[in-house]
Structure 1
Amino acid sequence: MPLLVLGFASGLPLALTGGTLQAWATLSDVSLQNIGFLTLIGSAYTLKFLWAPLVDRYAPPVLGRRRSWIFSTQILLGAAIAAMGLYSPAGSLMTLALLAVMVAFLSATQDIAFDAYSTDVLRKEERAAGAAVKVLGYRLAMIVSGGLALVLADRWLGWANTYFVMGAFMALCAVATLLAPEPEVIARPPRSLAIAVVEPLVEFFKRPGALGILLLIVLYKLGDAFAGALSTTFLLRGAGFTGTEVGTVNKVFGLAATIVGALAGGAFMTRLGLYRSLMLFGLLQAVSNFGYWVLAVTPAHIYSMALVVGIENLCGGLGTAAFVALLMALCKQEFSATQFALLSALSAVGRTYLAGPLTPPLVEAIGWPGFFVITVLIALPGLVLLRLRRAEIDGLEAGR
């Protein structure tokens, strides 16, 4: 149960600085180019490996090596998210963006500690189920901060009060951190900050095929990243759905499908193994992007949106569960904060520095239908590289 709630706390801030903020800016008539650049707020998730060694080496003097960081960032996040409700994209876009950057930084720091905690606390045979539970909590948070937030803002509370409520949810998650257990085996922290910075990298790059694995992490979900970069804007402006329709179907129903996919992914992984799961789920998440092409070339209908969004998110959830299990398998416990931060940061490179900035000019140049076809092609290099790296992945599963 604590892992589920901590996964929820990990996922809550992302939509509030991503898709939900994107919807708020869209409905406030912010330009498409500025909305595209708002995706750069997520840079903290890409750069978090820079301060992850501090989390590995030092810790506040209460609640243990990992939970102390998690608890501290959750309290600060509650305050920062609530502060975003004091401003609006129409009148104070820069101030709001700076607050969102602060939220992203604190959220990335929480993720460093939480990812290390889950890597440390789960036994090897629990990784598939643990990855599914993490994704379940994460996606439940996306329903709350994505779909529910859009509906609350559109129909009842307005944007300011919605962000106040989300900040309160974030602060409440700190209770689960207080109740969470410590790992059975507690690894000693690095003896110095220099060792915390250097040794995780040295240990990782000594492994056979390390560079290929790093490139695979960048490419595996790149097609998904492009398809999702402006998906909310597409559904609102390109397909013509209302904010409530998008909030209900894209954010609530779609994320519920992701949860089903994540849980199914955890179950299938125990039978298929890590490599075959990554390949099968990767193929499914690539092909599912064609659904957005269908929405772009057919008249808008709530049922067709529900079907497309459901299938795409179901396949994305399958791929995410396998991907998280891969990242956990790659980490050594002593350096789990730094290594997991480096690996997960690399996975955000495509979303932050490629998909966000490049999607607006691509859409303007070729239109929404052509863009979604290209997202399928973007996913293929990652699958080819996955096939080439099969030996290394099989080695991880065998415990070598």
Structure 2
Amino acid sequence: MKAPAISYWSLQLLLGWINFAMTAPMIYLYLGLPLVMRQQGWSGTAIGLFQLAGLPAVLKFVLAAPVDRWARDTAGYRRWSLVLLVGYAASLVALAGLDIGKTGFTTLFALAMLASLFGTWADAPVNALAIRCLPETERMRAGTIRSAASSLGAVFGGGAMLILHDRVGWSWPFFVLGVGLLLALVGLYLIRPVHLDTIATPKRSEVGVRQWVGYFASAQRRRWVVVLMLYFPFIGTAWVYLKPLLLDQGLPSGQVAVVAGLLGGVVGALGSLLGGYVTYRRGLHYALPGFAMLALVALAALSAALASHASLPLLTACTVLLALAMGASAGLVFGMMMYYTREGLTAVDYGLQSSLFVLTRTVVPMLAGLLLDHFGYLGMLSALMAGMLGIGYWSLRFVRGMGEMPPKMGRVA
């Protein structure tokens, strides 16, 4: 029995809200909280070490293994999601109970890592649930909505929650973020039973090292992994360094927050949705190399503006173009991840892809920082353009050799 299209839109928006509610706390913890820590007199070393609390994100493929081992049907994925989201919300409440002026590094680090653990772990069953509930024709849209939700979560967690902290104190941002997770829990109950029963439960199989290695047995998946690991990091790294770049160009911090924070986040969300529409209408063969070219143009425009000491309006235009390319690229990658999973190993395969994605998204900015120190912004951006040109060429080869895989992705099928 196929549900009406309107039902899938309801489910899509619900899953988008759940991803928004899971993303915003992470953004606040690792992008917003360092500012609060600095205001409290914490050292740069302590703030840097605090970022290690996000390490569970790299191990998502390990965390996803028990999910697929003990929950193979959609109802099981929902139960896992509920339990882990409760733990996520509880860890935020525990953080809200701290007195930041008297709390030591170890306590803050431990609770932040606990929140990161639950948030990272919950991502596997939630998105496995999305993959199992949605037909193949809806999965690209799900990826773009997830990317848009993440962009808006970044605006909310990295902007609105900092303002809330400044006005009412330490605890309230965590309470608000916790309420968002509780609403996500309610949302999980709103998933109609017809969606939970649309796909037959796959046969139970072992989950371990052999299954992780087995993911790379397919030549098509090996080619996809190259796209997965290299398509986003170059444009994403430019976004990481955009705020310090704008500051170094003489823009006041308030303007940087508006241009690269609020405006960029909203445009990134719109870019994700627009990218999903283009992919659906024109197909993956057009979108994958096309969005890579858009990212290359955005990097070139930013480099040209930097070299010419451009004015604020031109830098703002470059920021908008960069955010648009970043949102479109992220939405496309997130959508494709939903197609490259094996029957009975949905959470494991999604977790493995997420870990690989996070790995290069972390390493490339580190290497770019070294280039920045030695060759300046133009040298760093030149390297990012070279990398984007390379993955753009690979993307063109990838779609030409893809044939009918994955099925029903936009107009590919």
Alpha-carbon distance between aligned partners in 2 of 1:376 and 1:41, rounded to the nearest angstrom: 31
Confirm or deny: 8 A CA contact 1:148 1:252 kept in the other structure.
Answer: no
> When the two structures are superposed, what TM-score results if normalisation uses the length of structure 2?
0.82
Match of 2:272?
Answer: 262
Confirm or deny: 8 A CA contact 2:72 2:204 kept in the other structure.
Answer: no
Match of 2:198?
Answer: 185
Match of 1:107?
Answer: 119
CA deviations over 1:344-391 (Å, ceiling 9, x no partner): 211111122342x43444433333443334332332332232233234
Amino acid at match of 1:191: R
Confirm or deny: 8 A CA contact 1:38 1:97 kept in the other structure.
Answer: yes
Confirm or deny: 8 A CA contact 1:13 1:104 kept in the other structure.
Answer: no
Confirm or deny: 8 A CA contact 2:94 2:111 kept in the other structure.
Answer: yes
Amino acid at match of 2:142: G
CA deviations over 1:5-51 (Å, ceiling 9, x no partner): 12212322331233223444565676666655554443322211012
CA deviations over 1:248-287 (Å, ceiling 9, x no partner): 3322221110111111111111122113211111221233
Q: Pick closer, same or farther for the CA change 1:237–1:256 going to 2, 3 Å.
A: same
CA deviations over 1:64-112 (Å, ceiling 9, x no partner): 2111122222222223234445365997445433332222221111110
Amino acid at match of 1:111: D
Q: Pick closer, same or farther for the CA change 1:364–1:84 going to 2, 3 Å.
A: farther
Amino acid at match of 2:348: T
Match of 2:82?
Answer: 71
Match of 1:329?
Answer: 339
Q: CA deviation at 1:158?
A: 4.1
CA deviations over 1:197-228 (Å, ceiling 9, x no partner): 35744653332243332222111112023223
SS in 1 for 2:207: helix
Q: Pick closer, same or farther for the CA change 1:96–1:239 going to 2, 3 Å.
A: farther
Match of 2:288?
Answer: 278
Q: Which residue of 376, 388, 401 maps to 1:367? A: 376
Confirm or deny: 8 A CA contact 1:227 1:289 kept in the other structure.
Answer: yes
CA deviations over 1:123-148 (Å, ceiling 9, x no partner): 11212322222223332222211222
Q: Which residue of 55, 60, 68 maps to 2:67? A: 55
Confirm or deny: 8 A CA contact 2:285 2:400 kept in the other structure.
Answer: no
CA deviations over 1:317-349 (Å, ceiling 9, x no partner): 111121122111111342111111111211111
Alpha-carbon distance between aligned partners in 1 of 2:314 and 2:327, rounded to the nearest angstrom: 20
> When the two structures are superposed, what TM-score results if normalisation uses the length of structure 1?
0.84
Structure 2, unpaired ranges of 5+ = 1-12
Match of 1:165?
Answer: 176
Match of 1:213?
Answer: 224
Q: Which has the larger radius of gyration?
A: 2
Q: Pick closer, same or farther for the CA change 1:58–1:337 going to 2, 3 Å.
A: same
Match of 1:44?
Answer: 56
Q: Does 1:310 align with 2:320?
A: yes
Q: Pick closer, same or farther for the CA change 1:75–1:183 going to 2, 3 Å.
A: same
Confirm or deny: 8 A CA contact 2:239 2:323 kept in the other structure.
Answer: no
Q: Pick closer, same or farther for the CA change 1:104–1:92 going to 2, 3 Å.
A: same
Confirm or deny: 8 A CA contact 1:10 1:107 kept in the other structure.
Answer: yes
Q: Pick closer, same or farther for the CA change 1:206–1:370 going to 2, 3 Å.
A: closer
CA deviations over 1:291-321 (Å, ceiling 9, x no partner): 5546766779765554333221111111112
Amino acid at match of 1:383: G
Q: Pick closer, same or farther for the CA change 1:233–1:274 going to 2, 3 Å.
A: same
Alpha-carbon distance between aligned partners in 1 of 2:207 and 2:281, rounded to the nearest angstrom: 36
5 Å matches for 1:180-259? 180-181=191-192, 182-188=195-201, 191=204, 195-197=206-208, 200-201=211-212, 204-235=215-246, 239-242=250-253, 244-259=254-269
SS in 1 for 2:76: coil
RMSD: 3.3
SS in 2 for 1:279: helix
Amino acid at match of 2:135: R
SS in 1 for 2:344: helix
Alpha-carbon distance between aligned partners in 2 of 1:249 and 1:89, rounded to the nearest angstrom: 32
SS in 2 for 1:289: helix
Confirm or deny: 8 A CA contact 1:20 1:146 kept in the other structure.
Answer: yes
Match of 1:141?
Answer: 153
Confirm or deny: 8 A CA contact 1:3 1:118 kept in the other structure.
Answer: yes
Amino acid at match of 1:196: V
Which range is displaced more, 220-229 or 25-34? Answer: 25-34
Q: Pick closer, same or farther for the CA change 1:397–1:200 going to 2, 3 Å.
A: same
